[in-house]
Amino acid sequence: MKYVTLILLLPLFISQPAFAQDVCIDGQCFSTTLNDNSFRFRDYWPINASLSQQQGSMNGKKPNRTVISLVLNGTTYEQSNGKPFCEGIQIEIAFEEGKLEAEPNYTVYLQYESGLYTLNTEEGTLKITSFKQELDHRSFRLTAEIDCLMHSWCYPIYSKEELQLKAKFSNILITIPDWMVARI
């Protein structure tokens, strides 16, 4: 009887989608949930990680800044109006060499179920647990966790429920651009 039960339950375990588990590519692992439901990553190039310079404002009120950008690419589907919608999560962490604190300055944007969401700054935490420079000084590895509340950009702002976003990143390789290597 035990074997019959196991055989009957086996398809349930085999059919579990890959997005329900951590995704690991070349030693880089990441996972994300929204309201305790797994976020569905697309099959190819599910994560982009980069270090880049963002332009400041022309009036000088907002200075140039360097950010670590983690973009998680989700599935694409057709909306009711016939236009494609690409789900995704973008996390930007302010980067200043040697100054990544326990509570860094960061922003989060989410495109999910045909809606746009942004970080509720009062209810979120980002913890960088490891930051290791590679031997060649042309890249580094980042391990971090984020737990934040996202709210809709729609009007009225509370027309959609808030979403609890939790993500874990382990050993994510971030390449330092050539123009920046000379400065670091």
Is residue 143's pLDDT more than 60?
A: yes
- Encode pLDDT of 66-77 as tens digits: 899 999 999 888
H helix or E strand, kind and range, residue 175: strand 163-175
- Encode pLDDT of 110-120 as tens digits: 999 888 899 87
Asked if 171 and 144 count as a contact pair (C-beta separation under 8 A), the reply is: no
Give the start-to-end residue ranges of the domains of the chain.
23-181
Q: How far apart are CA 152 and CA 91, in angstroms?
A: 16
In the chain, the largest separation of any two C-alpha atoms, in whole Å, equals 75
Phi, psi of 180 (to 5 degrees): -100, -25
**Which pLDDT score is estimated for 59?**
85
- Encode pLDDT of 76-92 as tens digits: 888 888 888 999 999 99
pLDDT-based confidence at residue 20 (cuts at 50, 70, 90): very low
Asked if 74 and 86 count as a contact pair (C-beta separation under 8 A), the reply is: yes
**Which pLDDT score is estimated for 90?**
94
Is residue 94's pLDDT more than 80?
A: yes
**Which pLDDT score is estimated for 144?**
93
Average pLDDT over residues 49-60: 85
pLDDT-based confidence at residue 155 (cuts at 50, 70, 90): low
Q: What is the pTM of this model?
A: 0.78
Is residue 16's pLDDT more than 50?
A: no
Q: How far apart are CA 160 and CA 70, in angstroms?
A: 25
Q: What is the Cα 173 distance to its own chain's centre? A: 14
**Which pLDDT score is estimated for 18?**
40
Asked if 86 and 73 count as a contact pair (C-beta separation under 8 A), the reply is: yes
Locate tokens 């604190």: which residue?
A: 101
Is residue 63's pLDDT more than 90?
A: no
Q: How far apart are CA 87 and CA 77, in angstroms?
A: 8
Is residue 11's pLDDT more than 90?
A: no
**Which pLDDT score is estimated for 71?**
93
Q: What is the Cα 130 distance to its own chain's centre? A: 16
- Average pLDDT of the chain, as a whole number: 80
At residue 164's C-alpha, the angle toward residues 85 and 44, to 5°, is 40
- Encode pLDDT of 26-53 as tens digits: 889 999 999 999 999 988 889 999 998 8
